[in-house]
Amino acid sequence: MSQLRKLLVLGGGGHGKAVAEAALLSGEWQQVVFLDDRWPELKIVCGLPVVGDLRHLAENAGTTDGAIAAVGNNGLRRTWQRKITAAGIPLVSVVHPRACVSPSASIRPGSAIMSLAVVGTEARVGQGVIVNAGAVVDHDVTLDDYAHLGVGVCLAGGVTVGEAAWLQAGCSAGYGVVIEPGLVIEPGRALIAKD
């Protein structure tokens, strides 16, 4: 019988719940536990245990097979991922089983690819990236570390999203658009390449 794999999710908010569910549905993880700063008042998230706050990260290193920082704030996600690595816990990505990811795409550790997302041919997804539900990352797109795509974002081929940029729900970017690092794009905005 195979060993049960246990995932530690940092953050029990909305994104954390979605990541935990995706992890369990994927079949790669059989157990999920949370660390959340609302502990000890918060003990259960979606029927799964909260085993401590972030101060308990190191003591969970020997009891978990991997961890992911599941928070939408790009800066906080980066900080938490550094703490995961410093604690000696493998940083892992979670891909929802109903996402469509090309076999030629690359996804670095700590990223979350959510339900009905598409990651196309030779797309490059950096570390700690969020590709939210229904987002489309077409061929040859580059998402730099800690980029965050909201629900339903559509990126045409060759788009580059800079480090820690956040495209909120419903944004779109035409072929070859370059989005500068740290930019926040408001919901529903369409971006086109400059001539």
CATH number at residue 33: 3.40.50.20
Whole-prediction pTM: 0.95
Asked if residue 55 is part of any domain, the answer here is: yes
Same-domain check for residues 84 and 136: no
* pLDDT > 90? residue 1: no
Same-domain check for residues 18 and 35: yes
Mean pLDDT of the chain, nearest integer: 96
Q: What percent of the chain has pLDDT over 90?
A: 96
**Residues near 89 by Cβ (< 8 Å), separated by ≥ 6?**
8, 57, 60, 61, 64, 66, 67
* pLDDT > 80? residue 49: yes
Among candidate residues 57, 63, 7, 67, the one with its CA nearest the CA of residue 32: 7
Query: Which pLDDT belongs to residue 13?
Result: 95
Stretch 175-181: mean pLDDT: 97
Same-domain check for residues 107 and 192: yes
CATH number of the domain to which 137 belongs: 2.160.10.10
Query: Which pLDDT belongs to residue 130?
Result: 98
Where is the domain boundary, 92, 124, 153?
92
Cβ 20 vs Cβ 34: under 8 Å = yes
